């Protein structure tokens, strides 16, 4: 427990440092009330984290397996708790709605119960900063927890490229943090710079860049026909949405020109191929709907943007009520799969889909060739068997979580099609699916019970359900 308390205090300390960004925005905006709330929160969190770390440091102990997974849960809940008070102090939300706002930002869902036009610049930065920290935390926990323990079959073959621990007693956290945060922050800055070059206001550019790298669905303003009212800027957004949804390990392999046939490489290629097919279908659908004419190219561009946004689980679409105009079942499947491992995207991840397809292919081949020696054969090789078990466990638990979510939303009066979209969107942290299923969300006309259900499902999915089970049972899963 002391070690968990120290790490939770670290989350509050990181969050306190992150508050500098919205505080500067509040100063530039002249929003003194928000600045006062942010300053008090920053000072309080700094003091709390320092006192907690000082008091518990002599009692720290090495964590066992169950303790590692319990720490993961505690860290995520700490981020949500840390983000909650400002929404109460500045925007006057009730506790339930403040928790929803904090969870939505922290897990990169990106929806809000407050009308976009009523959100101040400082609070826009606050939401973007919270999501950016949530994205960073997602990457770090993947590197330190999901990968080393192979939770849900997470591949760990090239983890050494970003995880620099020499032994369990020499974790080299600082070196690993640099290998994750430097490219993460650099790509965020590059995205913001490119958006500014394409004439996006700097304040909007930085918020959008933080959202894109964390695959968060929040943008400062949005009309029914455009996201930024800038085709060039939206093209930049498409590129960085894909960057945010692909593996940081795969990105480093590309930078270092490691063209090897590893699982990380296979996952990235499979994901980009599927993304290209999905975008092509979206463009084809746009051309069929619009027909020939000058408006066809713009509609095709919008559909391509929305398809990329949905598949990367960013959830920023041109018209949240209409979505991307593709068959609902196809969109549900794409959202459920989500992005790549070691990324900030939601969903069950592409590597699990690939593993399940290989397993199914092997079983079908075994029916034809019962004595054949197959690649990744679960019958004779214990490692593929353990991976298959973990992957299928993650898949069925994801389906179970979404099913329970659908039942809860339906019990709260949400129509069944909307309940399906709502549960799937919350599980994969896709903002446009959630807001599209609840038209009254942006004006606060949604019951607190529904908001807390969305937040709970999104948090559990972001933590990974298998992590929760492992924390309870102590098993590796």
Mean residue pLDDT across the chain: 83
**Average pLDDT score over residue span 282-288:** 80
427 or 375: which carries more pLDDT confidence? 427
Q: What's the pLDDT at 226?
A: 59
Lowest-confidence pick of 275-279, 286-290, 450-454? 286-290
Task: Reply yes or no on whether the pLDDT at 290 is more than 70.
Answer: no
Q: What's the pLDDT at 223?
A: 47
Task: Reply yes or no on whether the pLDDT at 169 is more than 60.
Answer: no
pLDDT band at 150 (very low <50, low <70, confident <90, very high): confident
Q: What's the pLDDT at 261?
A: 52
Task: Reply yes or no on whether the pLDDT at 477 is more than 80.
Answer: no
Q: What is the 3-state secondary structure (H, E, C) of the chain?
A: CHHHHHHHHHHHHHHHHHCHHHHHHHHHHCCHHHHHHHHHHHHHHHHHHHHHHHHHHHHCCCCCHHHHHHHHHHHHHHHHHHHHHHHHHHHCCCHHHHHHHHHHHHCCCCCCCCCHHHCCHHHHHHHHHHHHHHHHHHHHHHHHHHCCCCHHHCCCCCHHHCCCCCECCECCHHHHHHHHHHHHHHHHHHHHHHHHHCCCCHHHHHHHHHHHHCCCCCCCCCCCCCCCCCHHHHHHHHHHHHHHHCCHHHHHHHHCCCCCCCHHHHHHHHHHHHHHHHHHHHHHHHHHHHCCCCHHHHHHHHHHHHHHHHHCCCCCCCCCCCCCCCCHHHHHHHHHHCCCCCCCCCCCCHHHHHHHHHHHHHHHHHHHCCCCCCCCCCCCCHHHHHHHHHHHHHHHHHHHHHHHHHHHHHHCCCCHHHHHHHHHHHHHCCHHHHHHHCCCHHHCCCCHHHHHHHHHHHHHHHHCHHHHHHHHHCCCC
**Average pLDDT score over residue span 285-298:** 70
Lowest-confidence pick of 220-224, 264-268, 466-470? 220-224
Q: What's the pLDDT at 229?
A: 75
pLDDT band at 473 (very low <50, low <70, confident <90, very high): low
Lowest-confidence pick of 245-259, 365-379, 426-440? 365-379
Q: What's the pLDDT at 222?
A: 57
**Average pLDDT score over residue span 108-134:** 90
Task: Reply yes or no on whether the pLDDT at 330 is more than 90.
Answer: no
110 or 147: which carries more pLDDT confidence? 110
366 or 28: which carries more pLDDT confidence? 28
């Amino acid at each position: 427990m002391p070690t968990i308390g120290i790490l939770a205090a670290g989350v509050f300390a990181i969050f306190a440092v992150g508050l500098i960004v919205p505080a500067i925005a509040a100063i530039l905006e002249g929003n003194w009330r928000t600045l006062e709330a942010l300053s008090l929160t920053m000072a309080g969190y700094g003091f709390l984290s320092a006192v907690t770390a000082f008091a518990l440091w002599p009692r720290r102990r090495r964590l066992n397996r169950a303790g590692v997974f319990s720490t993961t849960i505690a860290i995520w809940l700490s981020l949500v708790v840390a983000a909650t008070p400002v929404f109460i102090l500045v925007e006057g939300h009730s506790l339930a709605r403040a928790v929803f706002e904090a969870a939505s930002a922290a897990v990169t869902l990106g929806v809000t119960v407050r009308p976009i036009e009523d959100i101040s610049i400082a609070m826009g930065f606050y939401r973007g900063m919270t999501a950016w920290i949530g994205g960073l935390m997602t990457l770090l926990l993947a590197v330190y927890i999901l990968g080393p323990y192979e939770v849900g079959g997470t591949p760990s073959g090239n983890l050494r490229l970003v995880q620099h621990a020499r032994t369990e007693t020499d974790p080299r956290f600082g070196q690993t943090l640099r290998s994750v945060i430097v490219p993460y922050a650099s790509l965020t800055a590059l995205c913001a710079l490119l958006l500014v070059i394409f004439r996006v206001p700097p304040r909007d550019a930085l918020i959008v860049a933080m959202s894109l790298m964390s695959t968060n669905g929040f943008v400062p303003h949005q009309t029914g026909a455009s996201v930024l009212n800038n085709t060039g800027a939206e093209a930049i957004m498409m590129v960085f949405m894909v960057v945010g949804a692909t593996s940081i390990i795969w990105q480093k392999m590309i930078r270092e020109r490691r063209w090897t046939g590893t699982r990380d490489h296979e996952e990235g290629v499979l994901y980009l191929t599927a993304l290209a097919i999905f975008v092509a279908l979206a463009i084809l659908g746009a051309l069929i709907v619009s027909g020939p004419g000058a408006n066809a190219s713009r509609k095709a561009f919008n559909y391509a943007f929305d398809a990329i946004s949905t598949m990367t689980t960013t959830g920023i679409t041109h018209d949240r009520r209409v979505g991307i105009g593709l068959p609902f079942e196809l969109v549900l499947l794409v959202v459920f799969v989500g992005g790549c491992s070691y990324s900030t995207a939601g969903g069950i991840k592409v590597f699990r889909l690939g593993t399940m397809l290989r397993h199914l292919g092997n079983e079908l081949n075994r029916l034809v060739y019962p004595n054949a020696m197959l690649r990744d054969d679960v019958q004779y090789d214990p490692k593929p068997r353990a991976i298959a078990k973990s992957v299928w466990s993650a898949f069925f638990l994801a389906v179970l979580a979404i099913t329970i979510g659908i039942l809860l939303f339906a019990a709260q009066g949400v129509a069944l099609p909307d309940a399906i979209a709502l549960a799937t969107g919350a599980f994969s942290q896709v903002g446009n699916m959630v807001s599209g299923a609840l038209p009254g969300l942006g004006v606060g006309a949604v019951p607190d019970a529904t908001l807390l259900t969305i937040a709970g499902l999104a948090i559990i999915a972001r933590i990974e359900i298998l992590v929760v089970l492992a924390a309870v049972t102590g098993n590796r899963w």
